[in-house]
Structure 1
Amino acid sequence: MITYISGGERSGKSSYAQQMALELADNPIYLATAQVYDGNFEERVKRHQAERDERWTNIEEPLELSRCLPLNRVVVVDCVTLWLSNFFSKTKSNRDEALALAKGEFEKLKVYPGHLIIISNEIGMGLHGNTQIGRDFVELQGWMNQHIAKIADEAYFMVSGLPIKLK
Structure 2
Amino acid sequence: MATVHFITGGQRSGKSSYAQELALSLCSNPVYLATSRIWDEGHRDRILRHQRDRGSEWTNIEEEKELSKHDLTGRVVLVDCVTLWLTNFFFDLKSDVDASLEAAQLEFDRFIDQDATLIIVSNEIGLGGHPTNEIQMKFTDLQGWMNQYIAKKSDQVTMMVSGIPMKVK
Taking structure 1 as the reference length, what is the TM-score of the superposition?
A: 0.95
SS of corresponding position for 1:121: coil
Runs of 4+ in 1 over 6 A off after TM superposition: none
Show the counterpart of 1:33. 35
Q: Which moved more, 1:145-154 or 1:62-71?
A: 62-71
SS of corresponding position for 2:158: strand
SS of corresponding position for 1:155: strand
SS of corresponding position for 2:54: coil
Supply the distance in 2 between the matched residues of 1:33 and 1:10 (Cα, whole angstroms): 18
CA contact (8 A) 2:89 2:100 kept: yes
Q: Which amino acid aligns with 2:149?
A: H
Residue segments in structure 2 that go unaligned for 5+ positions in a row = none
- 1:48 aligned to 2:50? yes
1:120-131 to 2 correspondences below 5 Å: 120-131=122-133
Q: Which amino acid aligns with 1:35?
A: R
Equivalent pairs: percent with the same residue?
A: 52
Once the 2 structures are TM-superposed, how far is the Cα of residue 52 of structure 1 from its aligned partner?
A: 1.0
Deviations 1:64-89 (A, max 9, x none): 00101321100000000000000001
Show the counterpart of 2:97. 95
1:69-108 to 2 correspondences below 5 Å: 69-108=71-110
Taking structure 2 as the reference length, what is the TM-score of the superposition?
A: 0.94
Supply the distance in 2 between the matched residues of 1:10 and 1:39 (Cα, whole angstroms): 23
Deviations 1:131-159 (A, max 9, x none): 11110000000000000011100000111
Show the counterpart of 2:11. 9
**How many residues in Structure 1 have an aligned counterpart in Structure 2?**
167
SS of corresponding position for 1:55: coil
Show the counterpart of 2:59. 57
Residue segments in structure 1 that go unaligned for 5+ positions in a row = none
SS of corresponding position for 1:149: helix
Once the 2 structures are TM-superposed, how far is the Cα of residue 43 of structure 1 from its aligned partner?
A: 4.3
SS of corresponding position for 2:25: helix
